[in-house]
Amino acid sequence: MFAAEIRKRRVERRHDCVHGRWHKDEVFVKIDGKQWYLWRAVDREVEVLDVYVASKRDKAAALKFLKRVLKKHGRAREVATDGLPAYGAAIAEIGVGARHETGRRLNNRGENSHQPFRRRERAMRRFRSGRTLRKFASILA
């Protein structure tokens, strides 16, 4: 409850930062022995904007995730991603109007935001359902 209140105040103070640069990335996660993908969007302050769990890593999943983030937070000026072609296809289809950047080190904030998640995931010995993964990811965010 306290963390939610602190996060809410932080977001209100830095509303313009959310519309700056977003870093989007996905990470492989095992749920009940099957491989799933945890998609995350982070702003420049490494505050997690949204989390999405999908069974595929294709254009449809990227499009659904992008629409979800846009609905919650509006448009961004820049979007930095890794080299996954699904991001480019989804951004082109939606016509976000943001500058899409891919590069070797441009998405380090997105990649580094996964490190605490991986540490906690190892301690918990994997996940048994998508629901527990979403709960865990939202609490950690």
Q: For the purposes of burial, counting CB atoms within 10 Å of the CB of 29, is it exposed (0-12), middle (13-18) or buried (19 or more)? A: buried
The amino acid at residue 64 is K
- CATH of 17-140 among 3.90.1150.10, 3.30.830.10, 3.30.420.10, 2.60.15.10: 3.30.420.10
22-49 tens-digit pLDDT: 888 888 888 887 888 888 888 877 777 8
Residue % of the chain over a pLDDT of 70? 71
Nearest to 138 by CA among 40, 9, 36, 18: 40
Place of tokens 């072609």: 85
122-139 tens-digit pLDDT: 666 667 777 777 777 766
Max Cα–Cα distance, the chain, nearest Å:
42
Query: What are the boundaries of each domain within the chain?
Result: 17-140
* Angle (deg, nearest 10), helices 130-140 and 115-124: 130
Distance of alpha carbon 43 from alpha carbon 92, whole angstroms = 20
